[in-house]
A and B are shown apart, each in its own frame.
Chain A
Amino acid sequence: MLDIFAQFTAKYNYWAYIVIMMVGLFAMIAKRNLIKKMIGLSIFQTSIMLFYVAIGAKKGATIPILLSGTDPHHIDATMYVNPLPHVLMLTAIVVGVATLGVALALILRIYEKHGTLEEDEIISQIRSS
């Protein structure tokens, strides 16, 4: 019993990412305001980025840039963290910002047309017209 408990608490940082992810998911599903939904989406994205970077971490390893004077034929892979998650998240951050910009542009247009950001009010306006 204690064994299972120890296994669940050993990597407590992953639990933190799951909590952040659920906060984002809750905001996306439960909130009616479009801007709040977008904030939830951003929080969700952030938790996934943290999760990916954490996967690549190794104990006692440095950033994935070869130290000067390393022999290129004898590189110790345990000395550097895994570069692949960093690459994926590097592009994901910038693309996330750009797509968030598009989402905000669409919200701006919706607000100009309907005068509100509340989803249920917008839907009732569309149905009544």
Chain B
Amino acid sequence: MGQRFIEKSYEETHTPNIVTAVLADYRGFDTMFETVVVFIAGLACFFIVRIRKDECIPDTYYYRHKTTGIVVHKKQLCALPLRGSAFEQVDADWAPQDVVITTICRLLIPFIQIFGLYVLAHGHYSPGGGFQAGVLIAATFILLAISHDLRTLVTRLKESTTHLVSATGVLLYFGIGVSMLLTGHHFLDYNGLAGLLGMSLSSGHSLGILLVEVGVALTVAASLITIFKLLSSKGTVTEGL
């Protein structure tokens, strides 16, 4: 099997990276359902752990006045709605954040994200692909959450956004497959993409594999961020690591 893939995959898929060729082309159907597994895992975590937003959990909550920096706390009460007030909620073990850690992470995160996109875009020419890129991008958001706090992450990347992105990835993968069916080719046969967009067979193939990998990366990144947010905050998605 291995010998056949090595010798024939470039002729058949026009992709130098044999691993990506096998992953996205020969085993495209399998990879699609792997993506669905990751998507469902994120969804399952959400339904198992997430607590309703309006549910009252009596606990001691800490609030900081935004302009003066004075921290007050309320004992054995529900969390207060804070939309538009002069206070912001802070973690129970809140301390002024370490300048070194926050600055270094702030500088590092964009570079790691660009590297993630590079790994994604070069998935069929060099080592890389959707799964790896998704994990890298998720890691940057997790880094943001642990270097600042979880609330910073949630204000920048809303929960609904990650769910939408996660579903978009799966739909993109399915959509490529179904659009190939509609053009009269087999499911996930990227030759159809070349005819559809009027390009050469090899670039059509590359584009098909790239789009599929983008779908995988979106789902993996969003699902991993969701799982991290839920597990680190016991389902409240406000206070955690």
Contact = CB atoms under 8 A, between A and B. Distances in A.
A65 B224 contact: no
Contacts of A102: 41, 44-45, 48, 227
A13 B34 CA distance: 29
Interface stretch (B1-9, B69-77, B83-91, B190-198): B1-9
Given A98-B227, A108-B231, A77 B44 contact: no
Contacts of A16: none
B230 A105 contact: yes
Name A's interface SS.
Answer: helix
Nearest to A97: B224
Given A73-B11, A98-B38, A83 B227 contact: no
Interface string B36-55: 01100110110011000000
A101 B19 contact: no
Interface of B: 1-3, 5-7, 9-11, 16-19, 21-23, 27, 30-31, 34, 37-38, 41-42, 44-45, 48-49, 125-127, 129, 131-132, 134-135, 220, 223-224, 227, 230-231, 234-235
Contact of B10 (A72, A87, A97): A72
Contacts of B9: 83
B191 to A, nearest CB: 17
Nearest to A63: B127
A65 B127 contact: yes
11 contacts: A64-B17, A65-B16, A87-B19, A87-B22, A90-B23, A90-B131, A95-B34, A98-B38, A101-B42, A102-B41, A102-B48
Name B's interface SS.
Answer: helix
B231 A84 contact: no
Contacts of A123: none
B41 A91 contact: no
A91 B48 contact: no
Given A87-B27, A94-B135, A72 B227 contact: no
A99 B36 CA distance: 12
A65 B227 CA distance: 33
Contacts of A106: 48
Nearest to B5: A83
Count chain B CB atoms within 10 A of each CB in A70, A82, A101 and give the residue with the most: A101
B34 A91 contact: yes
A21 B141 CA distance: 32
B48 A77 contact: no
B131 A84 contact: no
B44 A105 contact: yes
A60 B76 CA distance: 66
Given A66-B16, A91-B23, A104-B231, A83 B2 contact: yes
A75 B131 CA distance: 27
A86 interface: yes
Given A87-B27, A91-B131, A101 B5 contact: no
A75 B6 CA distance: 7
A15 B38 CA distance: 32
Contacts of A94: 34, 38, 131, 134-135, 220
